[in-house]
Structure 1
Amino acid sequence: MNFLFFSPDIIKVNPFFAISLALADRIQNFFAKEQLNELLINVGFKIISVILVCVIMSVIRRLGKNMLKKAFAVNVERIQKVTGGTERRKETFESLSLNIWRYTVNIVLILWLVSIFIPLQNLLIASSAFFVVIGFAAKSMLDDITMGFFIIFEDLFSVGDFVEIDGNTGTVTEIGLRSVKIRVLTGEIVIIPNGNIGKVINHSVSNGQAVLDISIAYEADIDQAILVLEGVAQDAFDKYETILQLPQILGVQELADSAIVIRMIAEVSPLQQWHIQRELRRLIKKSFDQHNIEIPYSKMVIYQKNEGGAQ
């Protein structure tokens, strides 16, 4: 079909008609058989390339992940010597290695996919400018990564440690380049950016101290109460292997408004202080009941004045 058989006079009279003819001619050329075939071939090639790249990188990511896990599982003794000789350090480095591998695979995948649609030389020029902009804009990300390396190599805490970070108390489940994941006591996962980590309390790196303040009534015999507590301390030390040393009765800690407070401390294995505190309180209550030592509780005393009567 040819739109050029119209006379030049008609085209001069109606410019819109001329534009319509030009547009129709372009549409005709676009749908020419050779150009249409070339377009379909290019689009099909790029779609197939994208699918192949995704499949290849998925296989590589899975193979690398399995190899890292097998390396840490097989060479446990060697890795523990390199990382400090502890299981917790080995788990931390394994988590970090998997995190770095995941970041690397994802970055390569994105660059490879973009290179399918953009020439490599243009991509390199654009990525250079892009990384310069990112370097200025992503200061927080760089702070997170830097702090992540400090956490790992200074051994502030490791995977499996029970820690308290800025009011969040729980077990560390993962340490990454940018964030730390903590499972709190209620089961939720709290994600804390590494750059925001301030005060850290690690309960897993040293023995714990079970500290108890026991209140007795002012009417009770202090010396008898201390003897009873010493007996409880000996019984608990014989019963629980997690108590490393015989609990000590430090004496009167405070003369409170309605009670005398006696302090007891016990050195225990890491993370066992809360369990031992609960067990000691149970044993103390039973012993106090047997020896008639009163544990004070809130009381109300009412005085009534009779007026105008003989009674």
Structure 2
Amino acid sequence: MALSSTLSTVSASAGTEPFDASSLSSWGDWFVGTPLRLVLTALVGLVVLVLLRRMIKSVTDHLASGSLMDRRGLRNLAATGVGTAVLQTNPLAAARRAQRARTIGSVLRSTATLVVGAIVVLMMLDEVGVNIMPLVASAGVAGVALGFGAQSLVKDFLSGMFMLFEDQYGVGDTITVGDVSGTVEAVALRITKVRDSSGTLWYVRNGEILRVGNRTQGWARATVEVGLAVDADLEQARAALTRAGARLTADPVLSTYLQETPRVVGIETLSAAGVTLNIEVRTNPSMQWDVARALREAVRTELSEAGLALAAE
């Protein structure tokens, strides 16, 4: 009775026929008004949100698996440097690509939910006659207050977003951040987890990272310094180092890590204590340490066979 009398009062004030609770046509006229518009607004918002989230998930899943470049229209991009970087088959590269894509996808889905939800709520409030302008103004003031109150948190999230989009580093990379050097185990929007050589897991806030050195991105270089006696035959030493480099090139496993032929750079230091020669080679990311160890072993073997002694410490 209270609902019918309220609806009758509303109908009378609107200049329409009084609401008759026993009439189906009165209920139909009432439903096709505000209630129907509210239901349609909610349904349209829900459909838009579902479509947006599915589209974002589909794109990020394809990026994570590397199958996006197989689609028509992107095959030309796959032949470029950008496409090659996206389609790297290295396990570490695949892991970092997958984590970066899924993290960005999670952020985009959450953002879509907040934006669509806020728009739908405001439209529904406006439909029932609520003045939404004070709400919008209050939301703006609250956003400014939140921004000032959580500056460090916002800074961490923004820095994390830029690091992910710019691909500064990823899972498996060896980086140096301030006083911390180690292997990246996880990259999130707020923190980066780095494990050093002693096994300590460091949690680094992204907003505190002013500069970062990545030792395993793109390519790396393995360098071996060889200290010889001051009176050593340099031509014979260069030949021995060249043969050591050829050993690596002939190795069926190590040769797959090399991006160029090892070369003897020349004399790096010269003193009364001895002469230092360098041999270096460009390698795949993260492989420079394995290559350097094998190169030192080959250098030692070749110098021993050539009868050349290392400089005394």
Which whole-Å CA distance do the structure 2 matches of 1:160 and 1:184 have between them? 12
Matched, 1:76 2:91: no
Match of 1:141 among 141, 153, 169: 153
Q: Is the 8 A contact 2:63 2:101 kept in 1?
A: no
CA distance in 1, matches of 2:159, 2:64: 28
For residue 265 of structure 1, what is the aligned residue in structure 2? 280
Q: Distance in 1 between matches of 2:107 and 2:201?
A: 17
1:284 aligns to what?
Answer: 299
Superposed displacement of residue 257, structure 1: 3.5
**2:113 pairs with 1:92:** no
Measure how far apart 1:225 and its partner are.
0.9
1:7-26 to 2 correspondences below 5 Å: none
User: How far apart are the structure 2 equivalents of 1:166 and 1:293?
Assistant: 41
Residue in 2 aligned with 1:189? Answer: 201
Distance 1:224 1:168, change over 3 A: same
For 1:255, what is the secondary structure of its paired residue? Answer: strand
Rg larger for: 1
Percent identical: 23
Match of 2:224 in 1: 212
Partner of 1:255: 270
TM-score, with length taken from structure 2:
0.58
Residue 165 of structure 1: aligned partner: 177
Q: Which segments of 5 or more consecutive residues in structure 1 lack a partner in the other structure?
A: 1-63, 106-123, 299-311
Distance 1:173 1:98, change over 3 A: farther
1:238, CA displacement in angstroms?
Answer: 1.0
Shift of 1:196: 0.8
Is the Cα contact below 8 Å between 2:61 and 2:101 reproduced in 1? no
Long gaps (5+) in structure 2: 1-52, 75-81, 88-93, 114-134
Deviation at 1:283, TM superposition (A): 1.5
The offset of 1:104, in angstroms, is 11
Q: How does 1:103-252 map to 2 (within 5 A)?
A: 133-239=145-251, 240-241=254-255, 242-252=257-267
Aligned length: 215
CA separation of 1:171 and 1:232: change in aligned 2, threshold 3 A: same
Shift of 1:224: 1.0
Q: Shift of the alpha carbon at 1:273?
A: 1.0
CA contact (8 A) 2:64 2:98 kept: no
Shift of 1:270: 1.1
- The one-letter amino acid of 2:227's match is S
The SS at the match of 1:180 is strand
2:101 counterpart letter in structure 1? F
Q: Deviations over 1:217-264 (max 9, x none)?
A: 012211111111111111121112212221111221210340101111
Deviations 1:184-217 (A, max 9, x none): 2222221111111122122332121111221100
Change (3 A) 1:160 1:92: farther
Task: For 2:270 and 2:173, locate their aligned partners in 1 and report how far apart those are by CA, in whole Å.
Answer: 38
Superposed displacement of residue 135, structure 1: 2.4
1:131, distance to aligned residue in structure 2 (A): 5.7
How far, CA to CA, are the matches of 1:189 and 1:104 in structure 2? 34
Change (3 A) 1:180 1:277: same
Distance in 2, matches of 1:283 and 1:191, equals 39
Q: Evaluate the alpha carbon distance shift between residue 209 and residue 187 of structure 1 in structure 2; reply closer, same or farther with a 3 A threshold.
A: same
- State the AA in 1 paired with 2:300: K
Shift of residue 78, structure 1, vs aligned partner = 4.1
RMSD of aligned alpha carbons: 3.5
C-alpha distance in structure 1 between counterparts of 2:64 and 2:230, whole Å: 62
